[in-house]
């Protein structure tokens, strides 16, 4: 399941002629959403190609605006239209300023068994009778990665019941808002880290030196190698043709 947060930005204004207008957009992708359904009490409309909507002839009073769009969470905002005054409603910026929200945690060390305090003496004796012993904690260091949502490793399915690449949002695929999230890369890095004894961080920390060409030598020998690459294949084809014709003539001339 693709993790996609749908945020809607409203800029609502009412004027003396009781007109309410606003814009619907995706704050994550910084783009407007055209074709979104905007409902204000008994009034309903669709946003234009710029994500804007407009209601006219609105009487003063309290209204509830509902916005729905395929692939996004439904959003609702309450407004109050006051005749002769301009009203502006914006999203709470504090809700969108929380940085580095963890969705996965890496744990390393010795882990205690979930049954450490649940094994009775009778169960221990039964395990011992089969030549085993209960271990309340692992001996060697271990590691695990705990992810907040297991759907992060799921693949969505297209309308034709075909699996989509991991990290693709099926509702925006094929549109200008299509984004490929790094779910697959995250999963690969997790597996590499868990099974790689040398640790993925050490592999990524390696320095790779690019062996660049000697540009002075390239400039001096450019013509020579161009002739070799062009002439040699042609000469080989001609030589093969001559040998083939000579062998054919020798074979059938008798």
Residue 1 lies in a domain: no
pLDDT tens figures, 151-176: 778 777 776 777 888 887 766 666 66
Q: Indicate if 25 and 59 belong to the same structural domain.
A: yes
- Residues 155, 172, single domain; the answer is yes
Mark whether 190 and 222 lie in a shared domain.
no
Q: Which of 6-10, 136-140, 214-218 has the lowest mean pLDDT?
A: 6-10
Based on the fold, state whether residues 175 and 216 are members of the same structural domain: no
Q: Answer yes or no: is 12 within a domain.
A: no
Q: Tokens 């007109």 belong to which residue?
A: 19
Whether residues 169 and 92 share a domain: the answer is: no
Residue 5 has pLDDT above 50, yes or no: no
**CA gap 205, 131 in Å, rounded:** 45
Q: Which of 33, 61, 96 is the last residue of a domain?
A: 96
Of 55, 52, 57, the C-alpha closest to 10 is 52
Tokens of 169: 């949002």
Same domain, 132 and 187: yes
Once rounded to an integer, what is the mean pLDDT over residues 33-54?
Answer: 86
In terms of domains, do 74 and 123 share one? no
Distance CA 114, CA 123 (A): 15
Q: Which domain holds residue 58?
A: 20-96
The CATH number of the domain holding residue 40 is: 2.60.40.1120
Q: What is the pLDDT of residue 123?
A: 86
pLDDT tens-place string over residues 170-218: 666 666 667 777 788 888 888 888 877 666 566 566 666 777 788 888 8
Look at residue 244 and tell me if it is in a domain. yes
Indicate the residue among 74, 96, 118 that finishes a domain. Answer: 96
Strands 37-40 and 61-68: antiparallel
Q: Which H or E run includes 67?
A: strand 61-68
pTM (predicted TM-score) = 0.38
Residue 27 covered by a domain: yes
Residue 108 lies in a domain: yes
- pLDDT value of residue 234: 93
- Residue 83 contacts residue 16 (beta carbons within 8 Å): yes
User: Contact 32/47 with Cβ under 8 angstroms?
Assistant: yes
Per the prediction, the chain carries an average pLDDT of: 77
State whether 198 and 252 are in the same domain.
no
Tell whether 6 is covered by a domain.
Answer: no
Q: Per the domain annotation, does 2 fall within a domain?
A: no
In a domain, 242, yes or no: yes
The number of domains in the chain is: 3
User: What are the pLDDT digits (tens) for 78-97?
Assistant: 887 776 555 555 555 565 56
């Amino acid at each position: 399941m693709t993790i996609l947060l749908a945020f809607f930005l409203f800029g609502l204004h009412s004027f003396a002629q009781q007109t309410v207008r606003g814009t619907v957009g995706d704050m994550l992708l910084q783009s407007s959403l055209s074709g979104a359904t905007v409902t204000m009490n008994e009034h309903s409309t669709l946003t234009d190609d710029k994500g804007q909507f407009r209601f006219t002839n609105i009487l003063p009073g309290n209204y509830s605006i509902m916005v729905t769009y395929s692939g996004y969470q439904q959003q609702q905002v309450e407004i109050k239209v006051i005749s002769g005054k301009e009203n502006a409603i914006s999203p709470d910026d504090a809700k969108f300023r929380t940085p580095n929200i963890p969705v996965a945690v890496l744990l390393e060390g010795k882990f205690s068994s979930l049954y450490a305090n649940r094994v009775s003496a009778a169960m221990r004796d039964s395990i011992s009778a089969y030549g085993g012993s209960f271990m309340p904690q692992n001996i060697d260091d271990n590691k695990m990665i705990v992810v907040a949502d297991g759907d992060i490793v799921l693949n969505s399915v297209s309308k034709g019941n075909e699996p989509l690449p991991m990290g693709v949002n099926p509702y925006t695929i094929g549109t200008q808002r299509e984004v490929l999230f790094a779910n697959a890369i995250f999963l690969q890095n997790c597996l590499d880290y868990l099974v790689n004894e040398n640790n993925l961080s050490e592999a990524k920390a390696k320095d790779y030196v690019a062996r660049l060409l000697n540009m002075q030598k390239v400039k001096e020998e450019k013509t020579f190698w161009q002739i070799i690459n062009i002439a040699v294949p042609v000469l080989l084809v001609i030589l093969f043709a001559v040998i083939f014709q000579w062998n054919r003539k020798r074979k059938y001339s008798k």
